[in-house]
Chains A and B, each alone.
Chain A
Amino acid sequence: MTLAIFITGTLALLFGLLLGYAAIRFKVESDPLVEQVDSLLPQTQCGQCGFPGCRPYAEAIANDGDEINKCPPGGDATIKKLADLMGVEAKPLNAAHGEDAAAKTIAYIREDECIGCTKCIQACPVDAIIGAAKQMHTVITDECTGCDLCVDPCPVDCIDMINVPQTSSTWDWKESIQPETLIPVKVVS
């Protein structure tokens, strides 16, 4: 009897120590779920979800169980992926946060109307606008995420959101499943 208690006790102590050591040795620095959610979000940093950037929203989803349908730039594809990750039902995009953008847009500054107030530069979350006080500003198109945040602060309304032009390398074959453009593979038979 005492021997059994002794053995079990020793084993318990041993495993306890082992687990304790492992907990310290293999400690995970930050919550990996937040990272995973963050990596699914489109990183436009637009704030349409009501959080100041994608990471805070990711934290809200991961830690506070916030709704997953608040990200208009990500659209249904992102919601689907988030639903998979969080193990919840996918739901349609919450219209209160904006509509699913049909086409990708980027900001364009009508340069001769720009008065050089730098307000858009301060608003841009990814530093994609260059310029200086009383100098014309312009958008680095490659870096613009199309978040819309620069449009509102502009006092003279000289920023437009324009569609990204399609090139042959970004074109997808969606349009081609139509009889007119289909290749008649049966032509030889």
Chain B
Amino acid sequence: MESFDTIVKRLSENRLWQFPGGVKPQDKKALSNTHAIRRLPLPDCLYIPLKQHIGNKGSLIVEVGQRVLKGQPLTKASGPYSVPIHASTSGTVKAIDEHVSAHPSGIAEPTLMLEPDGLDEWIKLHPNPHYSQLDKSTLVELICDAGISGMGGAGFPTHIKTNNPQKLEFLIINGIECEPYITADDRLMREHAWQIRQGIDILQHTLNPKHIIVAVEDNKPEALEALRIACKDKPDCSLVSTPTLYPMGGEKQLIQVVTGREVPGKGLPSDIGITMFNIGTCFAIADAVFNGKPLIERVVTLTGEAVKAPQNVWALIGTPIAFLTEHAQLKSSKRYSQRIIMGGPMMGFTVTSPRVPVVKTTNCLLMPKASFAQPEDIERPCIRCSACSDVCPASLLPQQLLWHSKAKEYDKAQDYNLFDCIECGACAYVCPSDIPLVQYYRQAKSAVRSEKDEKQKAEKAKARFDARTQRLENDKKEREEKHQKAAQARQNAKANANDTATETTTAPKSAAVAAAIARAKAKKQQTSTPVLETEQKEPAQVDDKKAKVAAAVARAKAKKAASSNAIESEEKLESNTEAPQQTEVDDKKAKIAAAVARAKAKKAAASNGVEPNEKTAPTIETTQQTDADAKKAKVAAAVARAKAKAKAKAEKNAE
């Protein structure tokens, strides 16, 4: 890794490094970079998506029908990776609903629809001109509350990057804008260089880097000059002009070019002491801190051969793109058939509807001429020319990735570092067979991601299943233990009872004697019956059984007699205490009677309560059904469904 001193030395001599590969498409920037950024009238309706960045959406803090002022927060950050959104102008919240999203799929996402009232009335702003007196955490909070997320394209929440605890060597400001056609950052640098400088000052204050590098491509000399003047008196700041080469603006590529360091495959720039911010983000940070204004508008390039007036405009976040294309004078014959690309020609995507809103990452709306993408242009077989691997800025092997992505061998694709692909489209640009390579990589990436998600979900499901099985087993065990314990307790109780019974019987001798007599009688019977039976000598075996049964009966009788005797004796013993016991029994009886009476009363009350309902029901039946009826109907319906199901099942079984 290059040391800090060599890098600074080489920067001062304007000797830079290189990244591998790269392509040089025609830049077509002259179409739109000659006019100043224009301000447009208010559109009829703004569609502000609740989530416009990478991370989680905030929680809503406004209601439908509420009047909001310009700059008023509409959501509240609900986690570290969440930033709020703000009202782009004053007006009424018309609806909060699903609306077509600024995403290649166009899948509807939660969006707040704001109807402007035309007054454009600001909420009370809280400017902080003396930012250097604020501490780091306050500034980070300010940046978060202003809803700033990376404006270069990825949309990563800026406050997370500004809250970097690692020691930083370089703060790189990215003014490259390497994609053809786009001139939004170019115009912003030319017209607002001073405010960008202010944003850099704030970043320097919060991040405290050793050195600042501002990089601009050499096809934007005016912008470079403007920034040079703005940053003239800034120490520890080098302004570098990089060669024009696509994709110079990629984070990893620019770091490699200006510092010679390479970001590790699965690492972040901060791992090698570097962090990078986009020009537009710097501008927004200065706006947020010095003026207290949240991020509610951005520069958007309207360009392409299909528009009469290509230009840059200040577009409010949430402006439907149809409103913008109208102002760029899209040829009227093309109004409905024109393809509109959000972003540049290399990495952008075709929007699915003209009602798609402008979001915080929208830098360009490209309306190219209709003569491309004829069906015969689409994909011919790979001829293994290896032009793609020559231009790949990440030094990957695009052919191998293509084979494995197409064959759905995602493990092998990952072995070829699929996830290091930055989707810049250089490979597809040079491909003589017109293979849309990046689309295949994107597909493979999303497949790998969803596989990972599914795996995670499967693991979760397994854990829950195991937990449930364990719980059921434990329940079963517990129940068995309980049963066993109960059985044990019963046995113990029985044994105790027997013990006490024998004890009590031995006390009164007469009882014992009676029991003994009973036992003797039983024995006698036992012995006498078989004799009787054997005398008959008919079917011997049956008789035997009968005898046994009889004996058992006799034993039972004897036992009963014995116990009754015992009880009798007990009763005799307790005869003097009988009176209080009886009163207790009486008490109990009275209580039971009272309970029964209460229950009856309740029943009567309930039936009385129902009766009036039933009586009144017919009178108002025509207009409304009583609750009871509704419930009855529901129950009837449920029963009917259940019956139908049972019948269906029976029929199925019969079949």
Write the residues of chain A forming the contact surface with B, with a CB cutoff of 8 angstroms: 38, 41-45, 53-54, 113, 115, 125-128, 143, 145, 155-157, 166-168, 170-177, 179-189
Once the chains bind, are B368 and A184 in contact (CB under 8 Å)?
A: yes
Query: In the complex, A176 Cα to B101 Cα: how many Å?
Result: 16
Once the chains bind, are A185 and B107 in contact (CB under 8 Å)?
A: no
Q: Which residues of A contact B373 (CB under 8 A)?
A: 179, 182, 184
A165: nearest residue on chain B (CB-CB)? B107
Binds A, one of B75-83, B345-353, B396-404: B345-353
Once the chains bind, are A183 and B349 in contact (CB under 8 Å)?
A: yes
A177: nearest residue on chain B (CB-CB)? B439
B649: nearest residue on chain A (CB-CB)? A152
Query: In the complex, A127 Cα to B104 Cα: how many Å?
Result: 37
Query: In the complex, A143 Cα to B464 Cα: how many Å?
Result: 9
Once the chains bind, are A171 and B436 in contact (CB under 8 Å)?
A: no
Q: Which of chain B's residues 325-345 have a Cβ closer than 8 Å to chain A?
A: 339, 341, 345
Query: In the complex, given contacts A38-B462, A41-B458, A186-B429, what are 20 additional A-B residue pairs having Cβ atoms less than 8 angstroms apart?
Result: A113-B641, A115-B638, A143-B460, A143-B464, A155-B645, A156-B638, A156-B642, A171-B103, A171-B105, A173-B446, A176-B443, A181-B104, A181-B349, A181-B350, A182-B439, A183-B346, A183-B348, A183-B436, A185-B436, A189-B429
Query: In the complex, A128 Cα to B105 Cα: how many Å?
Result: 31
B639: nearest residue on chain A (CB-CB)? A156
Once the chains bind, are A125 and B465 in contact (CB under 8 Å)?
A: yes
Q: Which residues of A contact B107 (CB under 8 A)?
A: 166-168, 171
Q: Does B25 contact A (CB under 8 A)?
A: yes
Sorted nearest first, the 8 A-B pairs with minimum C-beta distance are A43-B458, A172-B446, A126-B464, A171-B105, A173-B442, A188-B25, A168-B103, A43-B461
Query: In the complex, A38 Cα to B645 Cα: how many Å?
Result: 35
Interface size class of B (residues with CB under 8 A): 35 or more
Q: Does B467 contact A (CB under 8 A)?
A: yes
Q: Which residues of A contact B638 (CB under 8 A)?
A: 113, 115, 155-156
Q: Which residues of A contact B180 (CB under 8 A)?
A: 188
Q: What is the 8 Å Cβ interface bit string for chain B, positions 91-113, against chain A (1 contact, 0 not)?
A: 00000000001011101010000
Q: What is the 8 Å Cβ interface bit string for chain B, positions 426-468, against chain A (1 contact, 0 not)?
A: 0011000010100110110011001000100111111011011
Once the chains bind, are A182 and B436 in contact (CB under 8 Å)?
A: yes
Q: Does B377 contact A (CB under 8 A)?
A: yes
Query: In the complex, A189 Cα to B180 Cα: how many Å?
Result: 11
Contacts known (A176-B104, A183-B341); A157 close to B468, Cβ less than 8 A:
no
Q: Which residues of B contact A126 (CB under 8 A)?
A: 461, 464-465, 468
Once the chains bind, are B443 and A174 in contact (CB under 8 Å)?
A: yes
Highest count of chain A CB atoms <10 Å: which of B25, B26, B373, B454: B373
CB of B439, distance to nearest CB on chain A (Å): 5
Once the chains bind, are A177 and B25 in contact (CB under 8 Å)?
A: no
Query: In the complex, A43 Cα to B464 Cα: how many Å?
Result: 10
Write the residues of chain B forming the contact surface with A, with a CB cutoff of 8 angstroms: 25-26, 28, 101, 103-105, 107, 109, 180-181, 339, 341, 345-350, 352, 368, 372-373, 375, 377-378, 425, 428-429, 434, 436, 439-440, 442-443, 446-447, 450, 454, 457-462, 464-465, 467-469, 637-638, 641-642, 645
Sampled A-B contacts (15; CB under 8 Å): A42-B454, A43-B457, A43-B462, A53-B469, A168-B103, A172-B450, A173-B439, A180-B350, A182-B436, A183-B341, A183-B345, A184-B345, A185-B345, A186-B372, A189-B429
Highest count of chain B CB atoms <10 Å: which of A145, A155, A181, A182: A182
Is the contact region of chain A dominated by helix, strand, or loop, or is it mixed?
A: loop
Q: Which residues of B contact A143 (CB under 8 A)?
A: 460-461, 464
Q: Which residues of B contact A172 (CB under 8 A)?
A: 443, 446-447, 450
Q: Which residues of A contact B450 (CB under 8 A)?
A: 170, 172
CB of B262, distance to nearest CB on chain A (Å): 26
Query: In the complex, A155 Cα to B350 Cα: how many Å?
Result: 49
Q: Which residues of B contact A171 (CB under 8 A)?
A: 103-105, 107, 446
Q: Which residues of A contact B442 (CB under 8 A)?
A: 173, 176
Query: In the complex, A117 Cα to B553 Cα: how many Å?
Result: 48
Q: Which residues of A contact B109 (CB under 8 A)?
A: 167-168
B646: nearest residue on chain A (CB-CB)? A155
Q: Which residues of B contact A38 (CB under 8 A)?
A: 462
Once the chains bind, are A173 and B464 in contact (CB under 8 Å)?
A: no
Query: In the complex, A186 Cα to B109 Cα: how many Å?
Result: 31
B429: nearest residue on chain A (CB-CB)? A185
Query: In the complex, A10 Cα to B84 Cα: how many Å?
Result: 78
Q: Which residues of B contact A43 (CB under 8 A)?
A: 457-459, 461-462, 465
CB of B633, distance to nearest CB on chain A (Å): 12
CB of A151, distance to nearest CB on chain B (Å): 11
Q: Which residues of A contact B103 (CB under 8 A)?
A: 168, 171
Once the chains bind, are A45 and B368 in contact (CB under 8 Å)?
A: no
Query: In the complex, A177 Cα to B457 Cα: how many Å?
Result: 28
Once the chains bind, are A188 and B345 in contact (CB under 8 Å)?
A: yes
Once the chains bind, are A128 and B377 in contact (CB under 8 Å)?
A: no
Once the chains bind, are B350 and A188 in contact (CB under 8 Å)?
A: no
CB of A64, distance to nearest CB on chain B (Å): 21
Q: Which residues of B contact A170 (CB under 8 A)?
A: 450
Once the chains bind, are A173 and B443 in contact (CB under 8 Å)?
A: yes
CB of B578, distance to nearest CB on chain A (Å): 47
CB of B435, distance to nearest CB on chain A (Å): 10
Query: In the complex, A176 Cα to B436 Cα: how many Å?
Result: 10
Query: In the complex, A180 Cα to B109 Cα: how many Å?
Result: 22
Query: In the complex, A53 Cα to B469 Cα: how many Å?
Result: 10
A140: nearest residue on chain B (CB-CB)? B464
Q: Which residues of B contact A155 (CB under 8 A)?
A: 638, 641-642, 645
Q: Which residues of A contact B28 (CB under 8 A)?
A: 188
Contacts known (A43-B461, A126-B468, A188-B345); A168 close to B443, Cβ less than 8 A:
no
Query: In the complex, A166 Cα to B373 Cα: how many Å?
Result: 28
| Among candidates A54, A115, A156, A168, residue contacting B105 with C-beta atoms closer than 8 Å | A168
